[in-house]
Amino acid sequence: MLPLLIDDAARPEHEVGDGLSTVNQDVRLDNRILDLRTSTNQAIFKLEAGVVHVYRRSLERRGFVEIHTPKIIPAASEGGANVFEVSYFKGSAYLAQSPQFYKQMAIAADFDRVFTIGSVFRAEDSNTHRHLCEFIGLDFEMAFNYHYHEVLDVIGELFVELFKGLQQEYADEIKTIDRQFPCEPFRFLEPSLRINFSEGVQLLRDNGVEMGDEEDLSTANEKLLGKIIRQKYDTDFYILDKFPLAVRPFYTMPDPDNPKYSNSYDLFMRGEEIMSGAQRVHDPEFLIERIKHLGIGNESYSYKKSLIFSISIPFTCKLDPNKMKSYIDSFRYGAPPHAGGGIGLERVTMLFLGLNNIRKTSLFPRDPKRVSP
């Protein structure tokens, strides 16, 4: 007897009942080979390939060069929390939580515009619908001439091209998936909506939320803001710019006009964060100053947003400039001002399709409880 029936695995949830059943997530994943044979799953992974394809095409058109960054990194990197340790010959090393430092080093090495697509590792014990311990990061970084909004303009265009490309070139796949997992089509504006963090806070306050100016958004408030913005602007995608400096990592460039804020941004799809990016501090002395300001005296430095993007996590990082020497040194011979970001492939696919679990968009997902098949 088969461990699951394709008919059950392919049944829309609203048709379950009257003796008709579905297959729960763990049974599906334990028997992934069979589960993947449904036309829904075939379509999901074709569309996911499409996300990478369209995204990469858009970047290459704009002169971004594809690079490959190491996943095994030395101990002295971004702090010790939430990283997987690896035995490396007689010593030990860690799995990269993000390619960020390396793509920035490529910018310092005069690559101008780079992107990289690869595995990202997070040793977080997060058992939610949207966290994985291993996922695919689509990262990019670019030098700019005058203002980091040049980069935000590119990001806005990239996502418009992504959503359009998917809806036009993958219409059949979307239709197939919609039969099993019905969902309102993804809505977006052209150009992309961009509002300041403080405007977002104001919208929340107008809707009864109490929060401080320099407080980060909770997950609940992110979702609420997504709903408010959907009603007001008719879009499932928007960019929130100018986050409070206090809630962003040490390498984030402060806003020169207002030191309480920073040149950093988050992107949202259907009320969930899919990317967190920023202009980076590219002056080594200022970088050390920021590290000292945040790290020394405070003993450890905690911020809610991930070091990087695409996943919001509580993160405590013992900051010490000596441990970040090669990163800081990469800016010593001159580096252009630059900004970037990265998205989590599985999360973008999930939210574009309005699916309820990131395990649906990972071929063989890895979470704290699952490392097989």
Chain contacts with a second copy (rule: CB under 8 A): 2, 32-34, 36-37, 42, 45-46, 49, 52-53, 60, 65-74, 84-89, 91, 93, 95, 102, 105-106, 108-111, 117-119, 121, 123, 125, 133-134, 136, 326-327, 329-330, 333, 345, 362-364, 366, 368, 371-373
Closer residue to a second copy (CB): 68 or 175: 68
Contact between 67 and 361 under an 8 Å Cβ cutoff? The reply is no
The distance of closest approach from Cβ of residue 39 to a second copy in the complex, given in angstroms and rounded to an integer, is: 10
- Say whether 184 is catalytic: no
Closer residue to a second copy (CB): 111 or 233: 111
Q: Which residue among 28, 113, 122, 290 is the active-site one?
A: 122
Q: What is the DSSP letter of 194?
A: E
Instruction: Rounding to the nearest 10 degrees, give the CA dihedral for residues 7, 11, 17, 18.
Output: -40
Can you read off the two tokens belonging to residue 282?
């590219």
- Say whether 310 is catalytic: no
Contact between 161 and 58 under an 8 Å Cβ cutoff? The reply is yes
- Say whether 347 is catalytic: yes
> In b/e form, how buried is each residue of 252-273, taking b as 16+ CB within 10 angstroms?
bbbbeeeeebbbbbbbbbbbbb
Closer residue to a second copy (CB): 253 or 345: 345
- Say whether 230 is catalytic: no
The distance of closest approach from Cβ of residue 226 to a second copy in the complex, given in angstroms and rounded to an integer, is: 27
Q: Residue 307's beta-bridge partner residues?
A: none
Contact between 238 and 116 under an 8 Å Cβ cutoff? The reply is no
What is the spatial distance between Cα 55 and Cα 107, in angstroms, rounded to a whole number?
20
Counted residue by residue, the chain has a size of: 373
Distance of CA 178 to the CA centre of its chain: 24
Q: Which amino acid is located at 51 in the chain?
A: V
Closer residue to a second copy (CB): 73 or 311: 73
What is the spatial distance between Cα 244 and Cα 264, in angstroms, rounded to a whole number?
8
The distance of closest approach from Cβ of residue 106 to a second copy in the complex, given in angstroms and rounded to an integer, is: 7
Q: Which residue among 48, 78, 124, 173 is the active-site one?
A: 124
- Say whether 113 is catalytic: no
Neighbours of 210 (CB within 10 A): 7
Neighbours of 69 (CB within 10 A): 19
Residues 6 or more apart whose CB falls under 8 angstroms from that of 202 comprise: none
* For residue 12, cis peptide bond before it (omega within 30 degrees of 0): no
Q: Which residue among 58, 276, 306, 312 is the active-site one?
A: 276
Closer residue to a second copy (CB): 80 or 215: 80
What is the spatial distance between Cα 282 and Cα 260, in angstroms, rounded to a whole number?
19
Closer residue to a second copy (CB): 174 or 217: 174
- Say whether 276 is catalytic: yes
Q: Which amino acid is located at 192 in the chain?
A: S
- Say whether 273 is catalytic: yes
Q: Which residue among 131, 194, 338, 359 is the active-site one?
A: 131
Closer residue to a second copy (CB): 89 or 146: 89
The distance of closest approach from Cβ of residue 14 to a second copy in the complex, given in angstroms and rounded to an integer, is: 26
Contact between 106 and 114 under an 8 Å Cβ cutoff? The reply is yes
Which of the residues are catalytic?
A: 122, 124, 130-131, 273, 276, 347
